[in-house]
Structures are given as C-alpha cells and as structure tokens.
Structure 1
Amino acid sequence: MKYGIVSIVGKPNVGKSTLLNNIFEREVVISSNKPQTTRNMIEISYDSIEDCVINFIDTPGLHNPKNKLDLFLNSQVKASLKKSDLVLFLFDLSRDFDSEDEECLKVLKDFNCNNVVLVLNKRDLKSEEEIKNAKQSISKMFDFTNVLEINSKSKEDVSVLLNTIKEHIKEYEGEKKDLELLKKEVSDKFFVSELIREIIINSFRQEIPYGVAILIDEMKYEQDKNLLTIVYSIIVEKESQKPIIIGKGGSMIKKINISLRERLSDIYDCKIFTNSYVKVKKDWRNNETQIKELGYKK
C-alpha cells in the first residue's frame, strides 16, 4: 500500500483547482477563470487507485502580496510544501512562462523540494514542437523528477498522471487502520462557503470578489422535513460594496441564493432553504484578527 501527500503548485489561475476536480470527476474545490479563487490550503484524499491513498493539497496561486490576506495565501503554499512527499508544478501551455512561474520555482528551490513533477497542461492547444520547446526551457530551470504533458480534461491523461504519482510516493509502513485516520475530507460547511464565494466571483466584476468572504452562521438538516437550512453572511470590506452585492430591490442577493439552491440540490437529496446577510468589515484583508475570524488560519 502506498501513501503520500501531493501538493499542486503554480501561479494564480493556472488550473490547479480544475485539475483536482477532473481527478475526482466531481467538484471538490471551487474553480474560476479569475486569479486568487483558492484561498485555503485544501487537503482531500483520493483512494480510487489500487493499493494507494493520495492526499492532494490544492494551494492558492503564488503571487506578489498586496495585503495581509495575500501574505496568508502565500504562507499556505509554503506550509503545503513542508508537509508534501511530492509536488506537482503545474504550467499552462497556453500562457507564457513569466516572473510568477519563476517565483514558484524559486520557492521550490528555497524549500529544497527534490521530488517535483513538471505537469504541462493543455497539450491539446499546442503543437509537438511548441511542447518540446516549453519542456526543454522550463526543465533547464529546475531538476524535475519527471515531466508530463497532459490535457486535464482527458480521463486517459489524468490516469497517466495518477499512475505517475503512485510511482513517486513511498510505501506506507504503518497499520492499515492508521492509514484511515490520515484520510482527509472537505467539510460540508467549508464546501458550501466556498460554493457561495464561487457564485459571487462569477457574478461580479473588478474588485468585488476579492474583497468578499463568507461566514456560515447556521447549517442544519432536519430529517423529519428532509430540509437543509443554511444561514450565511457575505462579508465585504467597503460600505460601497454592500448595495452592489444586494442589487436593486435585492435582485443580486436573490440571484446568488437561487444559484446556491440550484447547485446544492444537485449534491444533496433534500429541500434547501437559504437566508443571507451582507455585512461590512472595513478593510478586513489587512486586519489579521478578522482574517483569522473569517476562517483563514495557518
């Protein structure tokens, strides 16, 4: 039996969360085409390969910090590297290699990561010659354990990736019952809060999504009514953002709740009731106490 902790690392908006969802063949983490969608170090176990358990860690994209929340996000990436047995450095072939990619490799070197697989994603969008050139140029910058070219939407390519991971992690030497204790799951409360944030990210433009956090005030299931009740607060950092989230006549908050109920009804086989509030915590992204209160803890 093999076991390993595997971090997926790369610059913002490179497709780390999408890759993880494709591995699990369901939405286990939120994804968006906007940077900084992932805010927490999310660890979740995959055990669908024979004689193997992989604890994947989805990390925020490494980026130049602009506030204390950004510093927290970068610290999450570095914390994941400390505990990882293997690192997947994800590169999007449809984008240029830039200073953010260089910074990722620098961090990997600084942490003496010596078991790193370069994963070149979106191979279907590039010619063989272009992929070869990218592989050669990036491989000169770091001593990778292995290099893979994949299309993360391809089940065959994902299978190759999973088998490669299995090759590069160690045998588990403990008792099988102890291995069960090492498995990780994303809690329902955390998943719902992230789902709400994804809906907001995809519903608003410019700075609004980046100044938003979600607090689940109540989440309970009443078996006799087959009813899941979710009460939550949308936290914004400026008074001017509150009416934008609410919308004219409550139109936007209504749209958010309808989308949430529709998404949850695909997951939970029950009736869904949601109630939401919009609250202002001024400049919370620069307030360490509020950052922790909102669930962003090291």
Structure 2
Amino acid sequence: MSDPVEDPGEQSTATHSGFVTFVGRPNVGKSTLMNALVGEKVAITSDKPQTTRRAIRGILNRPGGQLVVVDTPGLHKPRTLLGQRLNDLVEQVLGDVDVIGFCVPATEKVGPGDRRIAESLTGYPRARKVAIVTKTDAATREQITERLIEVDSLREDWAAVIPLSALTRDQLDVLTDQLLTLMPEGPALYPEDVVTDESLEDRVAEIIREAALEGVRDELPHSIAVTIDDIEERETGSMTDVYANIIVERDSQKAIIIGRKGSRLRDVGAKARAQIEPLIGTKVFLKLHVRVAKEWQRDPKQLGRLGF
C-alpha cells in the first residue's frame, strides 16, 4: 500500500505577525498583561493612574508568528497638557495597530468610562477588536460571568471575548493564540532575541520612576518624571555608574521624595537598584538627584525636554 499523500495545507509554514495594543480605563491591568505575555518586565506597573507615559513595545515570539504588544497610557479626561499629549499618543497607536484588546477588570462593573472607550473603537475600523476580562484571579465565578455578559453586549464585532489572569497566567495562551490568528500573514518584524525596542536608558528611567511612585499619593505621582544623565560601566567591568534625576513640580514634593534625612530617597534607590542590576548585568552605583521643574506637566518647552 502506498503512503498517503499529505495535504499541502497541513504543512503550511505561513506565519502571522503584527501589532496589538490594549485599551481601557487607567489601572485595569494593561501593563501587567503586556509583561505577562512577553515573559519579561518591559513596562512598569503601579496602582497609580496614568503610570504608563509612552508607547512601549514588547515582543512575543511563537512558532506561528510574532506579536508586538504596544503598551499605552490609559485613556482619561486630561487636566494638563501632558494628559492631552498622552491621549493623543493613544489615538495615534490605535490607528496603526492590527488588533485592539479592550480590557475590563472582572472585579468592577462596567461603567460609563468603559462604555465610552468601547464605543470609540468604531473610529478605528482597520483593527480587529478583542474583549478581555482581566484580574479573574481576584474575582468570584459569578463576577466573571457577569462581566463577560456586560462586556459582550458593548459591541457586536468582538472577534473574541476572553477572561484571564495575567498574575496566574490563566488563559494567557488562549489570548496569544487568538491574537496570532487575527494578525496578517508576514515575517517577524523584530529579531527573535529582542523583547523590547526600549533603550537601556529609558528602561532604567522607568524602573527608577516605578520605585519613586511607591507609597506616594494625591497629585505627586503625576508630577514625577525621571531623566538619565549617564550610564557608564567602570573599567573593571564589575560595576556600572548610573546618574539620574527625579523631577517634581514643587519644593514641597521634593521634600517628600527625599524624606526625613534622605531616608525615602535611599529606599527608592535601593528598590530601583535591585531591578537595574539584573537588567545591566553588573553591580550598580546609583546616584539620584531630585530637582524641581515648576509645573512641567503644563509647560510645552519642559514637556519637550522630557520627551513628551
């Protein structure tokens, strides 16, 4: 008996590659989801709204193709020029990606903000839409079911509605597989060994900002920015010097960041250094300087100097 003839379709080597971004209200778990998908921390996370301030790309490789995940700020009603520019950035990204993932936490009822964002996706007809119910690890089965029903009713063109937990990685593979099938056919857009196109300076600055955000409240989180003056490896190769600035808007905020006799600034440095060292691959000497840039969130020139 002759061997059966294989169906050529079964051996298709076509790969799918493209861009996906996640949208939703601030603090619905977009950056955490991105990090979980990529398998490495490329976006900082915090319980403070508008933690993400740039379009950060994380790259996920699978046998069937490559996903480029673009993390963006949460859509919100802007109160400053910075806030407006962040919203403008989100809109630009939404117009360019292949798939938009709309995120709603399982622990919170769908509200007016969610509905407004879901309706706004009609303005981006190029992208396929996927609804994602996040934080299922923190919700009851009844809450998850209720949320899935609410989210499903928001639009008629969802390509899929998927509940998941980035923390426990439950259903992450389901989302990955679904996203890949929705991407256009084509080769990988980045080399396989690349997990992000963020520069080392940008990643270090974000790690420092994440450490500075911890424990602060009121308006201070929005007022914190970080710049890097220099990252230089010493001749011995066993130590890297990092010189950075933590920028705030008022003298009173500077005092909060520094803390009593410099205690809080030392704590920020220790937390940041613990994450910078594995990233760089050497021990790190981290020198932090806190300076004031008056009302930088509202000043076009200062925003430009800070990269916004």
Q: Could you tell me which amino acid in structure 2 is paired with residue 137 of structure 1?
A: E
Secondary structure of the 1:145 match is strand
Q: Tell me the CA shift for residue 127 of structure 1.
A: 4.5
Equivalent residues of 1:213, 1:236 under 8 A apart: yes
Instruction: Please state if 1:17 is matched with 2:22.
Output: no
Partners in 1 of 2:250 and 2:171 — Cα distance? 44
Partners in 2 of 1:2 and 1:222 — Cα distance? 43
Aligned to 1:80: 93
Secondary structure of the 2:42 match is coil
Aligned to 2:108: 95
Aligned to 2:125: 112
Equivalent residues of 1:114, 1:145 under 8 A apart: no
- When structure 1 is superposed on structure 2, of 73-82 and 139-148 the one drifting more is 139-148
Instruction: Please state if 1:63 is matched with 2:73.
Output: no
Secondary structure of the 2:279 match is coil
Aligned to 1:195: 207
Q: Deviations over 1:149-207 (max 9, x none)?
A: 112223351111111111111111x6x6x7649x7522111111111110011132222
Partners in 2 of 1:121 and 1:204 — Cα distance? 25
Structure 2: unaligned runs, 5 residues or longer: 1-14
Aligned partner (choices 257, 266, 270) of residue 269 of structure 2: 257
Partners in 2 of 1:13 and 1:95 — Cα distance? 12
Instruction: Please state if 1:287 is matched with 2:299.
Output: yes
Partners in 2 of 1:192 and 1:208 — Cα distance? 20
Q: CA RMSD in A?
A: 2.0
Partners in 2 of 1:160 and 1:189 — Cα distance? 34
Partners in 2 of 1:42 and 1:64 — Cα distance? 21
Aligned to 1:153: 167
Q: Tell me the CA shift for residue 113 of structure 1.
A: 5.3
Q: Tell me the CA shift for residue 238 of structure 1.
A: 1.1
Partners in 2 of 1:199 and 1:158 — Cα distance? 27
- When structure 1 is superposed on structure 2, of 218-227 and 280-289 the one drifting more is 218-227
Partners in 2 of 1:54 and 1:71 — Cα distance? 28
Q: Deviations over 1:34-75 (max 9, x none)?
A: 21111111112211x103111100111111111111101111
With the length of structure 2 as denominator, give the TM-score of the two structures: 0.88
Q: After TM superposition, list the pairs within 5 Å mapping 1:36-55 onto structure 2.
A: 36-47=50-61, 49-55=62-68
Aligned to 2:241: 229
Aligned partner (choices 170, 178, 186) of residue 184 of structure 2: 170
Secondary structure of the 1:199 match is helix
Q: Could you tell me which amino acid in structure 2 is paired with residue 169 of structure 1?
A: M
Aligned to 1:133: 146
Cα distance change, pair 244–179 in 1 and its aligned pair in 2 (3 A): closer
Q: Tell me the CA shift for residue 24 of structure 1.
A: 2.3
Equivalent residues of 2:137, 2:167 under 8 A apart: no
Q: Could you tell me which amino acid in structure 2 is paired with residue 200 of structure 1?
A: A
Equivalent residues of 2:107, 2:143 under 8 A apart: no
Partners in 1 of 2:144 and 2:247 — Cα distance? 43
The alignment covers a number of residue pairs equal to 291
Equivalent residues of 2:133, 2:164 under 8 A apart: yes
Partners in 2 of 1:196 and 1:268 — Cα distance? 14
Secondary structure of the 1:203 match is coil
Q: Could you tell me which amino acid in structure 2 is paired with residue 150 of structure 1?
A: L
Partners in 2 of 1:225 and 1:151 — Cα distance? 40
Q: Could you tell me which amino acid in structure 1 is paired with residue 72 of structure 2?
A: T
Equivalent residues of 2:29, 2:135 under 8 A apart: no
Q: Tell me the CA shift for residue 128 of structure 1.
A: 4.4
Q: Tell me the CA shift for residue 129 of structure 1.
A: 4.5
Aligned to 1:186: 198
Partners in 2 of 1:170 and 1:31 — Cα distance? 30
Q: Tell me the CA shift for residue 30 of structure 1.
A: 0.3
Partners in 1 of 2:48 and 2:251 — Cα distance? 23
Q: Tell me the CA shift for residue 110 of structure 1.
A: 2.4
Equivalent residues of 1:13, 1:61 under 8 A apart: yes
Partners in 2 of 1:264 and 1:124 — Cα distance? 29
Aligned to 1:31: 45
Rg larger in 1 or in 2? 2
Equivalent residues of 1:81, 1:113 under 8 A apart: no
